[in-house]
Amino acid sequence: CVHGNRFIEWAVLSVLGMASGKAFASVEGQIPSLVHGTIAKLLTAVKLNYADSYPASLFKNLGKCKELSSKM
């Protein structure tokens, strides 16, 4: 999760439909459960598709991140 923190943040904010100017307080209560669910989905996708990849380099690879996002 340390190496994928920005990916996780992007995924959660995408689910919440956060846009510039939207009040963060209106969705704050949903975040913990969404983060846990996102991490679970991400771990599954990484294990299935990139089990041999190092997390540090995996999350720096835009192509792999795009593919992961489509599998979640």
User: b/e per residue, 6-33, with b = 16+ CB within 10 A?
Assistant: ebbeebbbeebeeeeeeeeeebeeeeee
Q: In this predicted structure, what is the pLDDT of residue 25?
A: 82
Domain residues for 66? 5-70
Dig out the tokens for 41 from the structure. Answer: 């989905």
User: For 5-58, what is each residue's pLDDT tens digit?
Assistant: 999 999 998 998 877 677 778 888 999 999 999 999 999 999 999 999 999 999
Q: In this predicted structure, what is the pLDDT of residue 3?
A: 95
Number of structural domains found in the chain: 1
Q: Are 52 and 70 in contact (CB under 8 A)?
A: no
